[in-house]
Chain A
Amino acid sequence: MIINIARKELKSLFASPMGWIILALLMFGFGTFYLSGMDSYFQVMSGSIRPAERIGVTMFVGQNIYGSAAYLMSFAIPILTMKLISEERKSMTLPFLMSAPISISEIIVGKFLGLLIFLSSLVLYIFLMLSTMNIWADIDFGYLIANSFGLILLISAFVALGTFFSSLTSQPIISAVLSFIALFAMMMAGRYFASDPEHWFNYVSLLPHYQSFSKGIIDSADVAYFVLFTATFIVLTIRRLDSDRLRG
């Protein structure tokens, strides 16, 4: 049943121009970063003569793209998540889901998965785009896989948070703005206490956890952070929707 909800969500995303436009814009963005990354690689590397200054092309271009992905996603995801619940509330379509033999948890997890699958196509696209460097260079696929995994975790955290804000209001725009602010605050939280790496803000903030993936490391502590983050907001969303049924 979760799969059916996810399929419905995918169908809705592809039935409206919104889904296509966002996919196209993001792909255009990643393509541009790829191109400029390649360009500057040769400029920078031709300047660094000592071997210690040189880094591989995978890491150089990869860092460029995966680093920017976090920022691009924080813009794109609120626009997509606002559709998930807020817009259903606004157009009064929630009873369609609530009166079908589907539990609220299944509805939320299904919606979450639908959007995650949609955005995973971008992760796959980035992976394939970077793989084309293998034609002339010998690239580090492990590094790409670690980053792709990290990006998927980051996206799921973003989507979960966006879904929660989407469940709070029946005004899609407000939910988009709120989740954008929340995402931005969570990403930037680490910056406020950058001088003190042991400060708890750094543990709560999203970006420091994502950055370890960009070194090509899959750290179980970071994986746990993202899984917990995602689960927390999904549970909160389920609670919120259930309270609709209880409080009316």
Chain B
Amino acid sequence: MASTLEAKNLSRLFGANYAVKDVSFNLERGEVLGFLGPNGAGKSTTMRMLTGNLAPTEGAVDICGFDMLADPKKAKSMIGYLPEMRPLYKELTVDEYLTIAARFHNVPAKKINHSVDIAKDRCGLMHMSKRLIENLSNGYQQRVGIAQAIIHEPEIVILDEPTVGLDPIQIREIRKLIKEIGKNHSVILSTHILPEVEMVCDRVQIINQGSLVFHGSINELKQQRIGNKLQVGLKKAPALKDLKSINFISDVEKIEGDFFRFHFKTNVDSEKLASLCVEKKWGLYHIAPDVTSLEDIFAQLTMLGDKS
């Protein structure tokens, strides 16, 4: 697999503050890369630099072999970009808007109608062709935004927080659409919702205060997230000391009430723990993987970053 996008030591100063500091990564052909971070972490700034909307203070962006600063037209023609604020001309109809988008991205005149139809079909906009964008619902406007980004069949599709402000059903549909797009294009997707990344992405990057704090496959993140812990509810729990003395358990914490967090020495073995609880009649009524919240992961990762 060849890499289609390469960011090299990207930095961006706003005044005296680094919004993005020394960020390097690459995007492989045909993968969906999740860009995860809290609000204000520098996700949008990075994306604006990747798409040539903002000049980096330092560093370079290489798109399929074309440098964004030296050869912006060629580099930009490989990218489809949907910014956080949808750039829609609301006085136009869906067809008119997509035709303009196709023209701007050098789609040959004869193929424009065809491209517009394909993009509408992929984004489920076929029955909205003649509607004014202004009159579409939030979810459909977002689809128009995505259609605009894929109309010229770009190598790379960059979507900045594509599911923000949508209702749960729309979110599910947009996620399905993004997965669909990921089959033919490389996709970069930014979000601050961790489960979204797990659902849609192949690889994930976490950015915090302008620096990358984690990058790896989605499984690595899940490992980080779930770890070797179980949350267990016991009605007739023995003393904490007795629980700690179980031979395959490294540590036990009391969370609150009857809930305990069991840390396993090796891999999680819920069956073994469950049978032990039943055997000892501890009144087991709840057993579940202990999911670390995004905040915890950030805390963990940023602390790791500080140590190193």
Contact = CB atoms under 8 A, between A and B. Distances in A.
Contact of B81 (A4, A16, A95, A246): A95
B88 A93 contact: yes
A103 interface: yes
A35 interface: no
Contact of B100 (A11, A92, A248): A11
Nearest to B52: A99
A97 B55 contact: no
A50 interface: no
Contact of A95 (B73, B74, B77, B87): B87
Contact of B76 (A11, A16, A101): A101
A8 B79 CA distance: 21
Bin the interface of chain A by size: 20 to 34
A101 B77 contact: yes
Contact of A100 (B14, B48, B55, B105): B105
A94 B51 CA distance: 13
A96 B79 CA distance: 12
Contacts of B103: 4, 7-8
Interface string A86-121: 000001111111111111000000000000000000
B106 interface: yes
A238 to B, nearest CB: 14
A221 interface: no
Contacts of B81: 95, 99
Contact of B55 (A12, A101, A246): A246
Contacts of A245: 52-55
Q: Which of B14, B54, B77 has the most CB of A within 10 A?
A: B54
Bin the interface of chain B by size: 20 to 34
Q: Which of A8, A91, A101, A245 has the most CB of B within 10 A?
A: A101
B91 A93 contact: no
B72 A103 contact: yes
A97 to B, nearest CB: 7
B148 interface: yes
A4 B105 CA distance: 10
A185 B248 CA distance: 86
A52 interface: no
Given A5-B104, A102-B73, 18 more contacts: A4-B103, A7-B100, A7-B103, A8-B100, A15-B96, A91-B87, A92-B86, A94-B87, A95-B81, A97-B104, A101-B72, A101-B74, A101-B76, A101-B104, A103-B72, A245-B52, A248-B45, A248-B54
Interface of A: 1, 4-5, 7-8, 11-12, 15-16, 91-103, 245-246, 248
Interface of B: 12, 14, 45, 48, 51-55, 72-74, 76-77, 79, 81, 83, 85-92, 96, 100-101, 103-106, 148
22 contacts: A7-B103, A8-B104, A12-B89, A12-B92, A15-B91, A91-B87, A91-B90, A93-B87, A95-B48, A95-B51, A95-B87, A98-B53, A99-B52, A99-B83, A101-B76, A101-B77, A101-B104, A101-B105, A245-B52, A245-B55, A246-B55, A248-B12
